[in-house]
Structure 1
Amino acid sequence: MILVTGGTGFVGSAVLARLAEDGVIPVRAAVRSAGSHIPPGIDKIVVGALAQNTDWRAALTGVSALVHCAARVHVMDDSAANPLEEFRRVNVQGTLALAEQAAAAGVRRFVFISSIKVNGEMTAKNKPFTADDAPAPVDAYGVSKMEAEQGLRDLESQSGMQVVIVRPPLVYGKGVKANFAAMMQWLARGIPLPLGAIHNRRSLVALDNLVDLIVTCVRHPQAAGQTFLVSDGQDPSTTELLQRMGRAMGRPARLIPVPAACLTFGASLLGKRAVAQRLCGSLQVDIDKTRRLLDWTPPLTLDQGLQKAAKGTVRETCV
């Protein structure tokens, strides 16, 4: 039996759908409420919120592998009075309580979906992060994911439960939200964007590619005890990404060539420096370790991933 937490989320629901499609091993979804929708044929069990005092015993019965997608996710404008403590309460304390109960229940493998934010926020161009770099998180979300990883490694050494950590960068796919969805909507509406002269490099990962690696990590013997980075294996600039998005949507990308330095300066004046850094700065990941140890290749190219993400976007924007 495979248990998936966060089964109604963007990544967790896709993991459930893939496992149901494979149909090899029975699958169970741990959800917050009885009304949560999951794919047919999957056992559903209500556990409530991810917290330090959550009782996972019923959900863990008969489970050999666990994919932990549930988390308090990163948001651009966090309204919490103390964001780090809120992230720690869910992502660290809740995760480690689950892992301790999983180890006690005899779960063999624990796959933890972490974040590239554990490595940091930016890279020098053509100097990507690697899975074995020293962690250097900047924001509260990244710190909480790093602390959860450290706690899981400690538990692994004490219990013998195999821990596999996956750190994705930006994940996109059909149903994606936040800034990626906003960019697709701007393109669909033909809005000119001042992003035609950005020469950075950004790694990202199609949802299907991330799910394929997660499923591989559940099953592959060489995954045990490892940390993996994941991407599509292509690192487009922001300008190139928007151009490819436009082609995937059948809409021309109307890009104005404004220098990155001017964009960053203007955004700083408007209090949006962090947004400009994400659009203009580089964040690359090296997936050579993932390819080598797991004999893994991203099933979808960047263009194929963008085409899947684009389905429905133009229609929904025009309705």
Structure 2
Amino acid sequence: MNQPLVLVTGATGFVGEAVVFKLLLDKTFTPLAAVRSQSRISGLCKTVYWDMNSPDIGFTLDGIHAIVHCAARVHVMDETAPDAMDEFRKINVYSTLNLARNAAKSGVKRFIYISSIKVNGESTPPGQPFTSVLSSLPQDPYGLSKFEAEEGLREISSETGMELVVIRPPLVYGPGVKANFLNMMTWLDRGVPLPLGAINNQRSLVFIDNLVDLIATCISHPSAEGRVFMVSDGADISTSQLLGLMAKALGKKSRLIPVPVGLLKLAGFLAGRSGMTQRLCSSLQVDMSETCRLLGWSPPITRDLAFRRSALHFQDSQKK
């Protein structure tokens, strides 16, 4: 019996590739990977080339049961585009909605959109985690483009009957992670003293395996239709705790200097890094109780195991 076909966009990215591997292992669905270039998944499943900048999809969507849309122009720390909002809209809004319209015409049953917690905002007050109900608006072009895509997808779903599922993950980490989380592990591994020992905020994170497990659940779960899901590891953590626990997972001694948060923010302002300092010091929590209740789901990987797996992969990569 043929397994239902699931198109995974952004299949060479951190999340998209993990979704493909999850589907290959579970063997409930057959993944079709939409890629921009060849990668290690090319010999593991069928792939199609997709240029998100082109109005022509370039391949048929006929026979596809569901789409997991991971492809996106991601958050850029040092933006160089003259009109950042326009660049984000081209990929995250226009290309996404073009794919969805073509999917609906081809009879795709469900469209799973991997959005971002930045749709809700950049920080949360103590004890007031973000929920699927928006209480504020996005504060940067990336978050705004994700918000606009969500709104456009809801219109398409309403007009065509194609089922929509939205997932808004916070920071995603795990083996092979790049950017700031990789930098953090590098600093800890080298024993670099960090002035971050007095930050008592609360941050929600999600391990890559926990995220893709939720995504796989949403492909066919009847209660997922029309919903927005928040996701995390279910164990929020402060920046200082994060650094300490990751150092332990790496087998290193954390060298955290307890610099007052006020001084950190002042230093960040003087250095032109207020945004980075804000992210390090502020809280950002999500409430995923509705996700767990509606889907009967919980994160399969504990935070301690997630940190150990991330640390082991990092250490193995340093030996190559």
TM-score in terms of structure 1 length: 0.96
The alpha-carbon distance between structure 1 residues 8 and 318, as it changes in their structure 2 partners (threshold 3 A), is closer
Q: Which residue of 1 aligns with 2:49?
A: 46
Q: Displacement of 1:133 after TM fit?
A: 2.3
Q: Give the SS at the match of 1:171.
A: strand
Report the equivalent of 1:143: 144
Q: Cα distance, 1:165 vs. partner? A: 0.2
Instruction: Output the amino acid matched with 2:36.
Output: R
Query: By how many angstroms is 1:53 displaced?
Result: 0.4
Provide the C-alpha distance between the structure 1 equivalents of 2:314 and 2:70, rounded to a whole number of angstroms: 25
Count of aligned pairs: 316
- Equivalent positions of 1:4-83 (< 5 A) are 4-33=8-37, 35-38=38-41, 40-47=43-50, 49-51=51-53, 53-58=55-60, 60-83=61-84
Residue 296 of structure 1 corresponds to which residue in structure 2? 297
Residues 45-72 of structure 1 show CA distances to partners (whole Å, capped at 9, x for unaligned) of 122x2135032542x1210111000011
5+ residue gaps in structure 1? Answer: none
Contact 2:129 / 2:284 at 8 angstroms: preserved in 1? yes
Query: After alignment, is 295-304 or 309-318 more displaced?
Result: 309-318
Structure 2 residue 243 is matched with structure 1 residue 233: no
**By how many angstroms is 1:317 displaced?**
4.4
Q: For residues 114 and 262 of structure 1, what CA distance do their matches in structure 2 show?
A: 34
**Aligned mates of 1:19, 1:314 — CA distance in 2:** 27
Alignment of 1:204-243 (within 5 A): 204-243=205-244
State the alpha-carbon separation in 1 of the partners of residues 266 and 173 from structure 2: 28
* Aligned 1:1-319 pairs, distance under 5 A: 1-33=5-37, 35-38=38-41, 40-47=43-50, 49-51=51-53, 53-58=55-60, 60-317=61-318
How far apart are the structure 1 equivalents of 2:268 and 2:255? Answer: 20
Report the AA paired with residue 25 of structure 1: F
* Cα deviation, residue 219, structure 1: 1.6
Q: Match for 1:46: what amino acid?
A: Y
Where has structure 1 moved over 6 Å in runs of 4 or more? none
Q: SS of the counterpart of 1:232? A: coil
Letter in 1 for 2:11: G
**3-state SS of the aligned residue for 2:219?**
helix
Structural RMSD (CA): 1.3
TM score, norm. by length of structure 2: 0.96
AA of the residue aligned to 1:150? E
Q: Aligned partners of 2:14 and 2:223: how far apart in 1? A: 27
Work out whether residues 49 and 58 of structure 2, in 8 Å CA contact, stay in contact via their aligned partners in 1: no
Listed one character per residue, the Cα deviations across residues 15-34 of structure 1 (whole Å, up to 9, x for unaligned) are 0000001112222111123x
Q: Answer whether contact 2:62 2:107 (CA < 8 A) is retained.
A: no
Q: Distance in 2 between matches of 1:132 and 1:68?
A: 22
Aligned residue type for 1:314: Q
How far apart are residue 316 of structure 1 and its match?
4.1
Per the TM alignment, residue 309 of structure 1 is displaced from its structure 2 partner at its CA by 1.1
Q: Following the alignment from structure 1 to structure 2, what is the Cα–Cα distance between the partners of residues 95 and 72?
A: 11
Whether the aligned pair in 1 keeps the contact of 2:89 and 2:145 (CA below 8 Å) is: yes
Amino acid in structure 1 at the alignment position of 2:34: A
1:88-141 Cα shifts (integer Å, max 9, x gaps) = 011000000000000000000000000000000011122100011245100000
- What SS does structure 1 have at the residue aligned with 2:112? strand
Q: Tell me, yes or no, if the aligned pair for 2:123 and 2:282 is still in contact at 8 Å.
A: yes
Query: Which residues of structure 2 form unaligned runs of 5+?
Result: none
Q: 1:193 to 1:317 in 2, by over 3 A?
A: farther
**Following the alignment from structure 1 to structure 2, what is the Cα–Cα distance between the partners of residues 187 and 318?**
16
CA distance in 1, matches of 2:233, 2:54: 35
